Amino acid sequence: MSGINIRDVAKHCNISVSTVSRVLNERPDVNPKTRQRVLDAISQLDYIPNNSARNLVMTASDRIAVVVRGLANPFFGQMIRTIEEDVYRAGFTMELRHISSDADEVHTAAVLATEKRLCGVLLLGGRFNYTADEMRVLDVPYVCTTYTNTFGNMPQDAFSSVAIDDRAEACRAVEHLIGLGHRKIAAIVSSEKDRSISELRYQGYCEALEKHGISYEPSLVVESGQYSQRSAVDAANRLLARNVEFTAVFTISDMMALAVMKALHERGVRVPEDCSVIGIDGLESSLYSIPTLTTVVQPAEEMATESTAILIDLVRGQGKNRHTFFPAHIREGGSARRVDAE
């Protein structure tokens, strides 16, 4: 059959041109079933690959995209600097795309992969419940960075991730407060059931209470609905309006913790004299608040470097999908103090 080109093969298989090109170039990062579909289509269509077709993907073989979900999250800024350095040091170029926290990072990455002829993607922040069907649109290697697919149905060998154990580290934060004598511990979360980071950290809060025989009190948990500082201030004000007793507040991020401290100050509640506050992330800005924030520190630079290394190995065909969990640690600041246990 004359006149058949690589785009016809891609259309026939309902996949991207870059995937067909990877099959032609015998790249290892192609699903075996997809590879066989392409080879069958080449045979059926009587397609004869040429050098220009083989080179289609090569023109983009050095471009990696970083899709950042959550415009207002300063934690990602720390990671992006490290990722950029590691990407360029390895001989690749980087495309950076910021999207809002309610945007679809997978769709954004898939469009970028086609438009920019990417060889790989780092998803910096995202949902925890991908399905295998959803991820088929992204046909370049990718790494989920700062999160993993806890609530989804994807096989572990189908994707890579780098994260902390959000549930365990949230439990660690609350246990730190318990160790300081606190028993009435409030929690400000984005949502108890968002199938994402808030749900996991909320579960860690509940786990810590249960482990130490502390009764769960629904009135001490407030959902902010968002990860923004404005929503955290509103949540803190709603907590105070309930007139329930608490001596400490656990928040699911440093950004929200700093906002809660401001809200408490404006209502005449002293931190830590009247109320202790703890966050998670380890933002540099939390070192300069008054008082400084006690927080669970994520190893941002190490996570960024590991994510980039995994992706580059996948792109070069030198590695398999893998998952890395980094331990975090408590950084004690001035926002949490010891109280007499009840």
The letter for the amino acid at 50 is N
**Do both 196 and 126 map to the same domain?**
no
Segment (H or E) for 193: none
In a domain, 340, yes or no: no
Residue 334 within a domain: no
CATH classification at residue 81: 3.40.50.2300
Residue 341 lies in a domain: no
The tokens of 165 are what?
């154990």
Q: Using a cut of 0.85, tell me whether the model's pTM lies above it.
A: no
309 and 267 share one domain: no
- The pair of structure tokens assigned to 54 is 């083989």
Are 108 and 229 part of one and the same domain? no
Strand runs (DSSP E) across the chain, as ranges? 63-69, 93-99, 120-124, 142-145, 160-163, 185-189, 221-223, 248-251, 276-281, 294-297, 323-325, 329-331
Is 333 within a domain?
A: no
User: Do 101 and 158 have their domain in common?
Assistant: yes
CATH code, domain carrying 16: 1.10.260.40
Angular region, 105: left φ>0, alpha ψ -120 to 50, beta rest: alpha
Question: Considering its fold, how many domains does the chain have in total?
Answer: 3
* Torsion, CA 226, CA 147, CA 248, CA 215, rounded to 10: 100
Walk along the chain (342 residues) and give the pLDDT tens digit of each residue: 457 788 888 889 998 877 887 787 666 667 888 888 888 888 788 776 655 444 444 444 689 999 999 877 889 988 999 999 999 999 999 999 999 888 899 999 999 998 888 999 999 999 899 999 899 899 899 999 999 999 999 999 999 999 999 999 999 999 999 999 999 999 999 988 877 899 999 999 999 999 999 999 999 999 999 888 999 999 999 999 999 999 999 999 999 999 999 999 999 999 999 999 999 999 999 999 999 999 999 999 999 999 999 999 999 999 999 999 999 999 999 999 999 855
Claim to verify: residue 138 and residue 177 sit in the same structural domain: no
Asked if the structure places residue 1 within a domain, the reply is: no
CA distance 185 to 323: 33
- Examine residue 342 and state whether it is found in any structural domain, yes or no: no
Question: What is the Rg, in whole angstroms, of the alpha carbon atoms belonging to the chain?
Answer: 24
Domain that holds residue 50: 6-54
Domain co-membership, 317 together with 281: no
